[in-house]
Each structure stands twice: as C-alpha cells, then as structure tokens.
Amino acid sequence: MQNKDLSTGKRSLRKSLLARRRQILPDDWQRLSESVVKSLINWPNFLQAQTIMAYMAMKDEVLLQSLIETAWKLGKRVVVPKMTGEFGQMNAVAIDSCSSWTVAAFGIQEPLDAPVVNPHAIDLVLLSGVAFDRQGNRLGMGGGYYDRFLSDTPQALVVGVTVSKQLVAHIPMDTYDRPVDVVITEKGFIYCNKRKQDLGHP
C-alpha cells in the first residue's frame, strides 16, 4: 500500500473506531477499567518494574488512576507524557500525589513543573490507542507522539491498554509505526512480541 493510501486507510479506520469507542458508556468504562487494572497490578512485569510510564485517560479510555496510586504505594516511580510544544514530540515527566495539573492539548491532563525523566530509565510503558490488533499494531490519534518517543525506550516493555471492543483483525502500519509488545484488555493479556524473553505471565 502506498503512503497516501495508507494514510487514507488509517483516517477512515480511526474515524469508525473512535465512533465505536464513544458508544461505551461511562459506567462500562469504569467496570472495564477495574478489570484491566486488576490484571495489570498482579502482573509480574508490573510488580518488577521500578519506573512505569502511564497515561492520563480521556473519558473514553481505560482509566489508570487506581493503578498509578497502587504503584506509588509500592514505591515505584510513575511518569506520564507531557507535550514539549513541538508537534509530535513529548517527554516523560515524574508525578506524585502532590502534583499540580492543567488541561493541555486534546483535553488531556498534564502536570505542571514536573521533572523530566530519561526515557532509558523507564521499565514499563502503558499506552492507550484508538485500537490494536493481535500482532501489537496500534492505531493512535495520528500525531505520532508515541512512535517518536518509543524510539528512545528500546529497553522498556510496551503494553497497549484497551478493551476487547477495540481489538481489530488488522491495522495498517507504516515503517515508522512502533508496535507494542503486549496488549491488555478486560479479557486478559495478548503477547505480541515473541522475541521478548522477559514476558511474565499472570
């Protein structure tokens, strides 16, 4: 598929899958999120990780607040994305229970005055997406923020966090798109990267 056709296909798929994702009711998001988080916080890779990159969920994404609080209680460092001001670029910044927040681009909460963390220090990355497939391919919002950022985190285990309704048979990928190693839904883990030898099982 040519790049132009690939981009067109992605836009069309993104539009339809966003519409499907928005049909999930808030109460259902809460229930599904609790199931996903329960699996994650009992997962050996979560328990072993010292620095975890999470995300601040939009209203139609899996909620990770309880996971973040659990990580703090276990003495882990939690980082989240923060836009740099340059389109497509973001940093990982450390947060704690005292962090102050603002609403940034796309309506996402971002911390104020949070210290930047070296991407090479991150053990586990949890990221959302419009959809995933079982090969670990991810459809994001189209900005390429994670694709650029993850090029600096080869050591991290990358986990796509979603719900089973947002799993699709195939997502078209470009050469610069970064697949995830694992996908987690309310139904459990899908291990995508067979080359990773450190994948623990719940």
Distance, in Å, from the CA atom of 95 to the CA atom of 116, rounded to the nearest integer, reads: 10
pLDDT at position 162, please?
97
Asked if 115 and 139 touch (Cβ cutoff 8 Å), the reply is no
Position 70, amino acid: T
Element (H, E) at 8: helix 3-21
pLDDT at position 11, please?
86
Cα 202 to chain centroid distance, Å, stands at 19
pLDDT at 30 over 60: yes
Distance, in Å, from the CA atom of 182 to the CA atom of 141, rounded to the nearest integer, reads: 19
% of the chain at pLDDT higher than 70: 92
pLDDT at 196 over 90: no
Q: 30 vs 56, 59, 61, 79, 163, CA distance in Å?
A: 14, 10, 10, 22, 12
Distance, in Å, from the CA atom of 36 to the CA atom of 108, rounded to the nearest integer, reads: 21
Which residues have a Cβ under 8 Å from the Cβ of 29 and sit 6 or more positions away?
59, 60, 61, 62, 63
- pLDDT tens digits, residue range 137-188? 999 988 889 999 999 999 999 999 999 999 999 998 887 888 999 999 999 9
Q: Tokens for 128, please give them.
A: 């959302």
pLDDT at position 86, please?
80
**pLDDT category of residue 194 using cuts at 50, 70 and 90:** low
% of the chain at pLDDT higher than 90: 74
**pLDDT category of residue 106 using cuts at 50, 70 and 90:** confident
Distance, in Å, from the CA atom of 84 to the CA atom of 88, rounded to the nearest integer, reads: 9
Domains of the chain: 3-191 (3.40.50.10420)
pLDDT at position 141, please?
86
State how beta strands 131-133 and 116-117 pair.
unpaired
pLDDT at 198 over 80: no
**pLDDT category of residue 1 using cuts at 50, 70 and 90:** very low
Q: Tokens for 49, please give them.
A: 């990780």
- Identify the residue whose tokens are 């056709």: 5
**Confidence (pTM):** 0.90
